[in-house]
Structure 1
């Protein structure tokens, strides 16, 4: 049975270690052949925008743009609908490959058997 990992990251520059951990786990899982769905919510929503990940710095952590590139290469990234709306972010604003979707889609991803969800 194929396994899927759904990660919801709520932290951004306000909690850089939690933020970095979420992106790192997602990228490593993708590189390991795991199906990954990373959800950007709260302050991590800003990383759906071009150039924002390049502004993120955390000593001894992999660069966020590289992690995002790796996740998109073999997994999916979704920006929360409400989080996007609160920040004035629209579909035309986000990086190629990032979709905007809401709670119904999140629930549908985490409900099948064998799915593990992590929240950072």
Structure 2
């Protein structure tokens, strides 16, 4: 069984390649059977809201909505609570399967035994 993977995406559409890379790595890990937790922080928090991923385009990249669906098949997607609050995003605004949580939950996940954490 692969290690658990926590991926934190810290940028929005202003850095399309870095943003897409984080989602791609999370989806690929989920597809390989790893337990994946994808965290959306900063302007990446917007991609937890329906329609935002569908609007994002990057040439030669898998569409974000497909990557999100891949992660959610076996993993979790969480929007940072402070990042959501700063943007006026509440739980009712999120796409199905996406939750809001804070730093304590993130720290608990990344400090778990055998966990690999990546930040984009």
TM-score, normalization: structure 2? 0.97
For 2:16, the equivalent position in structure 1 comes to 16
Judged with a 3 Å threshold, the aligned counterparts in structure 2 of structure 1 residues 2 and 41 are, in CA distance, closer, same or farther, namely same
SS in 1 for 2:107: helix
The yes-or-no answer on 1:101 pairing with 2:101 is yes
**How far 1:2 moved relative to its partner?**
5.6
Gaps of 5+ in 1: none
Q: Secondary structure of 2:36's match?
A: strand
Indicate conservation of the 8 Å contact 2:77/2:99, yes or no.
yes
2:68 is equivalent to residue 81 of structure 1: no
Aligned twin of 1:71: 71
Structure 1 counterpart of 2:112 = 112
Runs of 4+ in 1 over 3 A off after TM superposition: none
Give 1:11 deviation, angstroms. Answer: 1.3
Take 1:30 and 1:56, find their aligned partners in 2: how far apart are those partners? 21
TM-score after normalising by structure 1: 0.97
Aligned residues: 120
